[in-house]
Amino acid sequence: MAQEKQGKLDELKRRLSEIADLSRAEGLLAWDQFTSMPSGGAEARARHMAALGRIRHEKATDPEIGRLLDGLEGHAASLPYESDDASLIRLARREYERATRVPTELYAEFIAHASATYQVWEQARPANDFAAVRPYLEKTVEYSRRMAECFPEADHIADPLIDVSDPGMTAETVRSLFARLREELVPLVRACVDAGTVDDSCLHKHYPETEQLEFGTRVARQFGYDFDRGRQDQSKHPFTVAVSVGDVRITTRVNEYDLSEALFSTLHEAGHAMYEQGVRPDLEGTPLATGTSMAVHESQSRLWENIVGRSYPFWEYYYPQLQATFPEQLGQVDLDAFYRAINRVRPSLIRTDADELTYNLHVMVRFDLELELLEGTLAVKDLPEAWHARYQADLGVRAPDDRDGVLQDVHWFDGTVGGAFQGYTLGNIMSALFYEEAVRQHPSIPEEMRQGRFTTLHSRLRESIYQHGSKFTAGELVERLTGGELVIEPYVRYLREKLTPPGG
């Protein structure tokens, strides 16, 4: 490579690495805020975060990055698509475009509006007061539209918003995947409901915190989550933060009267964390050194939480250990009863408490409603009623109020309307597709799981997905692994095999 090109590439890398470092530092401050910061630190912490965010935004939108990228265009085209440098330049171009198209003043105005909206929502939800947030939400829809309109080449107004968390996905792709999935799910949910209620009272006895945490971390460690490069703390809402490839932290939440909360949130976050820990170490310090999209991230948390952690073979191995940990609570409960309890399907009002099947219906309701809001076919004032109507139609339940209806999720009240929800269900769809691919390569995986061994599965996922960080988009990963586009069939197969009631 000509010396001049090398100089440009080095300078680009230096700048991108600085931006990535700032973003990691923000992550660490957020981790501290949600795990251990005393409440007296809140005001200053908000200032620290804002300062770092501002500096990062300035650096990310510096015209010099645009000039460097322009100068490297020919060079990138001459490199193999899969090479680190070509991938880095591709990703940097995408992020630079996204950061610079929305005028800084509009973006800053929106950030201030979103933080005001969040504060109103925090009061409005417990008070069941949709009227209080309504004018804020109307402005949010307006801001979301204005920011999306900065990308006039998009086919659908939601596309630029979706692109932020799931690059390459569009409203049209998601809509058609979801429409087909919904057709499959609604009858399956109905069959589960008709089969009668499952007794899950065994999960709601008293389970002391220490033993719960000990059991969860033991499983996470056996999955392959590396505690020498990670740690687990507690927070109100469980999350994962990657401070670097060598420092990926998870949190969990313990409920002494619900065994599934801490356990499955630990397995879920361990899945996110193993993805981040599995990135090739030499990508560290570049924007490539992190998971590629929200959907691929969710595919890994769901794969380890649900496909592995709620499977029968998994519990054939672990249930005797769980019984030994909680002999009084579970000694008289057999494996089959426990397995049914952790996989109970029941339409409910709250997305975050939903079972793995109905969960998707919650997501689709929100996705459809946010598209209608952005398209202007649904007015914010009619949103609560539209919400109830869809829940009635899709899940057969109706919230008694807006608190457990339209006000339940924070997403529309601390960010844009649009782009927030699709990743959860896309992640579910991908989880089954990636798992099927791993088993196709290594048919021994289910049997190994029955013996508490996960090395083959973990290695396959590291090799096929984790190591690449953000080099490939979700669509490219799917294409590389299956030779085609994202399809729902593996996920539908997985759900049907697991959840179709006997005789159903």
> Where do contacts with Zn ion occur on this chain (CB under 5 A)?
301
Please count the CA atoms within 13 angstroms of the CA of 140 that sit on its side-chain side.
28
Q: Which DSSP category does 378 fall into? A: S
Single out the residue of 271, 268, 275 nearest to residue 252, CA to CA.
268
- Least gap, CB of 375 to Zn ion (angstroms): 28
Contact by Cβ (8 Å): 154, 168: no
What does the alpha-carbon distance between residue 180 and residue 489 come to, in Å, rounded to a whole number? 10
Closest to Zn ion by CB, 301 vs 358, is 301
Residue 269 annotated to the active site = yes
Number of C-alpha atoms within 13 angstroms, CB side, residue 275?
29
- Give me the least distance between CB of 130 and Zn ion, in Å please: 27
CB 153 within 8 A of CB 142: no
81-to-279, 288, 481 alpha-carbon distances in Å: 19, 14, 16
Smaller CB separation from Zn ion, 301 or 306: 301
261, 269, 276, 305: which one is catalytic? Answer: 269
Provide, rounded to whole angstroms, the least separation between the CB of residue 415 and Zn ion: 16
Q: Whole-number minimum distance, CB 351 to Zn ion, in Å?
A: 12
Does residue 223 contact residue 452 with C-beta atoms inside 8 Å?
A: no
Supply the minimum distance, in Å, between the C-beta of residue 119 and Zn ion: 25
For residues 277 and 301, which CB has a smaller minimum distance to Zn ion in the complex? 301
Contact present, 64 and 14 (Cβ < 8 Å) = no
C-beta of residue 259 within 8 angstroms of C-beta of residue 215: no
Of all residues in the shown chain, the one whose CB is closest to Zn ion is 301
| C-alpha Rg value of the chain to the nearest Å | 23
Closest to Zn ion by CB, 31 vs 130, is 31
Cα dihedral across residues 465, 471, 473, 475: positive or negative: negative
Report yes or no: 235 and 251 within 8 Å, Cβ to Cβ: yes
Question: Judged by CB, which is closer to Zn ion: 302, or 388?
Answer: 302
Q: Please, which residue, 88 or 364, has the CB nearer to Zn ion?
A: 364
Provide, rounded to whole angstroms, the least separation between the CB of residue 300 and Zn ion.
Answer: 9
CA dihedral 447, 453, 456, 461 (to 10 degrees): 110
Name the one residue in this structure whose structure tokens are 């440098």.
85
Contacts of 342 (CB under 8 A, 6+ apart): 200, 203, 260, 264, 310, 315
- Strands 230-234 and 240-244, sheet pairing: unpaired
Of the chain, the end-to-end C-alpha distance in Å amounts to 64
Q: Which is nearer to Zn ion, 418 or 423 (CB)?
A: 423
Between CA 23 and CA 32 the distance in angstroms is 14
233 phi/psi in degrees, rounded to 5: -125, -175
Neighbours of 97 (CB within 10 A): 13
Cβ closest to Zn ion, residue 143 vs residue 223: 223
Give me 312's structure tokens.
């029968």
Minimum CB separation from Zn ion for residue 298, in Å?
Answer: 5
The answer to whether 439 and 445 have CB atoms below 8 angstroms apart is yes
- Could you tell me the smallest distance in angstroms from the CB atom of residue 353 to Zn ion? 15
Residues that are catalytic:
269
